[in-house]
Amino acid sequence: MNYSNLTKEQLIAKLAAFEQPKKIKAQKPFQFEKTRARHVAFKVAYLGQNYFGFTGTMNDPLPTIEKELFRALTTCKLIPSPDACGWSRAGRTDKGVSGFGQVVSLWVRTLSTAPFTLDWDSVKTLKDPIDIDGDYTEEELPYLSMINKLLPREIKVLAWAPVPLSFDARFSCQYRKYKYFFPTKGYDIAKMQQAAKYFIGTHDCRHICKLDSSKVERPEFFTRTIYEAEIEQASDKFSVFIVKGRAFLWHQVRNMMALLFMVGKGLEQPEIIQTLLDLKQHPDKSGKPNYDMAPDVPLVLLDCGYDSINWRIADSKDCLNQQKVFQDINEQLYEAELRVLQLNTLKEEYRLLGAMEGEVSKQKQHIPLMKRKRCESLETMVEKIQNKRENK
């Protein structure tokens, strides 16, 4: 167009037209009714320091791991919504806690039309599913790369697996395994190791957890089985408490660790674990002795175990996913190592100014656990619930 022939008013009109915001075409909703769904499990890893626990919804004001997973899954159109995919998780981790082997099961969009796939309306109404045989090895969508490219670098789906219709990440889980890292210096590791062994077996664990008020009317709920409990050297400066059990109660591992710390400091004898697990050694209807649980950040959900699950770590259509995951891990390792170097440099500069380093004692006078005030007991909580129910 020859703009030199336009009048002033015409030029102004042209400029105004250019400055008008472009109309964005409304995106057509994805037609899930034209697709099939298959049942899968995802192995999820995450660093939890900046998150308010694993569980959450897309509308949570606070960041959670599930919020990020749901956002990624809906964005890449693998699920219609969090409520319509049969979501199940192996474990719930608290604020600050990490997980390297968390497992979730759900229904996702699939390329397959095999008998083990369903339409999405059937997924919503599915109850008591019956397993169906089929070819689980056929080519599939690149689930790992589709999800991981939409997740923050602290969260990654490490692997996926085709699972039977009856599989449930929570109820099919045979064991959960945790690691808790702590500095070796200042602790009697041999005594802590001795104390840790007393956790092994089946016990009433009401004195080493936070009581869930929704479960106190079923006292048997607090009976738990621990398969392994040991302490190993993790590095030159750190040790690690490793515990494996069928399932764990609310804050149970952090309570266990708090008790081991007391033993390691010489404040309690290893046999205190036996005492806390034996209800006969406590006054009738007495609650847990009052003590603080261990910090959250050093705790990691390491593994969730299942029978006959074949994890796939590679996508058939995107071989770069593994390299991208390693790249994100290595970037965070570099940043962590750089921060250690910076902090050590800061310490040295402070020393050069004449500052003297020494340990600050935070230790209050220790009151033996069995002489401490008690938390509200299970029996008292049950009485309150029943009284409230009767007074309605």
What residues are labeled active site?
94
Burial 20-44 (b: 16+ CB within 10 A, else e): eeeeeeeeeeeebeebbbbbbbbbb
Tell me the C-alpha distance between 166 and 41, whole Å: 12
β-partners of residue 304 are 176
What's at 50, amino acid-wise? N
Over its C-alpha atoms, the chain yields an Rg (Å, rounded) of 27
Tell me the C-alpha distance between 26 and 21, whole Å: 15
Residues 6 or more apart whose CB falls under 8 angstroms from that of 313 comprise: 144, 158, 159, 322
The DSSP-derived string for 257-315 is HHHHHHHHTTSS-TTHHHHHH-GGGS-TT---B--PPPPSTTEEEEEEE-SS---B--B
What's at 138, amino acid-wise? E
Asked if 88 contacts 54 with a C-beta cutoff of 8 angstroms, the reply is no
Q: What's the N-to-C CA distance of the chain in angstroms?
A: 81
| Nearest by Cα to 91 from 201, 197, 168 | 168
| Nearest-10 crossing angle of helices 189-197, 252-264 | 140
Q: Which two tokens stand for residue 315?
A: 């996508």
Tell me the C-alpha distance between 210 and 226, whole Å: 17
| Nearest by Cα to 156 from 145, 146, 165, 148 | 148
At residue 40, the 3 state secondary structure works out as strand
| Nearest by Cα to 312 from 77, 137, 147, 134 | 137
